[in-house]
Amino acid sequence: MAEKVILLNMLAGMFGTRARVALAAKGMQYEYREEDLRNKSPLLLQSNPIHKKILVLIHNDPYQRAQARFWADYINKKLYGPGRKIWTKSGEELEAAKKEFVEILKQLQSELGDKAFFGGERFGFLDVGLVTYSTWFHTYEKCGGFSIEEHCPKLIAWVKRCLEIDFVSGSLADPAKVYDFALVLRKVFGIDTS
């Protein structure tokens, strides 16, 4: 039995129309839902929570994998820059970086919700994509003068669950050593460490 496919688009949406042509070429049955971009549906906002744009193609299992890839890409593109600024900048640039970093973590915490891991009850793809950043959290907090746990307690609880898994904790760098490494780099780059 085929799984239900839903296409969210608008009449003049070229990219969604491209998907309609491709689905028709494959002979696939799907449900088309017209979106009013001035009054976006809850399904659109849930399916594309960051960009809140169309085209959205929903197809159960592939959808779950696509969501994980989307969030992994989000982490890769969004988290590194502000994180790096936290330990390399000062003043207004530091404050802006902290604010951006915390907002990104809050978005990720929202995606995690009340689940044990991003994929549910088991450590998975998206967990791998984010857990490596946790080794830098201590550095960000020390250099930025803030607490990630204060802003994102569920995310820190997730980090602790991840670290209970032997292959995760055995693969990650010691956060204290990461901090020492960052301090050496700050000195090399001539960043004021006072």
Top CATH class of 77-188 equals mainly alpha
Query: Residue 193 — pLDDT band, cuts 50, 70, 90?
Result: low
φ and ψ at 89, to 5 degrees?
-120, 170
Query: How crowded is residue 155: how many other Cβ atoms within 10 Å of its Cβ?
Result: 20
**Predicted structure pTM score:** 0.74
Contacts of residue 186, defined as CB under 8 A and 6 or more positions apart, other chains included, come to 87, 88, 193
Query: Residue 16 — pLDDT band, cuts 50, 70, 90?
Result: confident
Q: What is the pLDDT of residues 63-109, one digit of tens each?
A: 678 788 889 999 999 999 999 999 999 999 999 999 999 999 999 99
CA separation (Å) from 124 to 70, 80, 110, 127?
Answer: 14, 21, 17, 5
* pLDDT at position 58: 80
- Segment (H or E) for 187: helix 175-188
Average pLDDT, the chain: 90
- How would you classify residue 120: left for phi > 0, otherwise alpha for psi between -120 and 50, otherwise beta? left
Query: Residue 1 — pLDDT band, cuts 50, 70, 90?
Result: very low
* pLDDT at position 22: 83
Query: How crowded is residue 7: how many other Cβ atoms within 10 Å of its Cβ?
Result: 23
CATH superfamily of 6-58: Glutaredoxin (3.40.30.10)
Joined together, the tokens standing for residue 39 give 């009054």
Q: What is the pLDDT of residues 115-153, one digit of tens each?
A: 999 989 999 989 999 999 999 999 999 999 999 999 999
Domain boundaries, the chain: 6-58, 77-188
In residues, how long is the chain?
Answer: 194
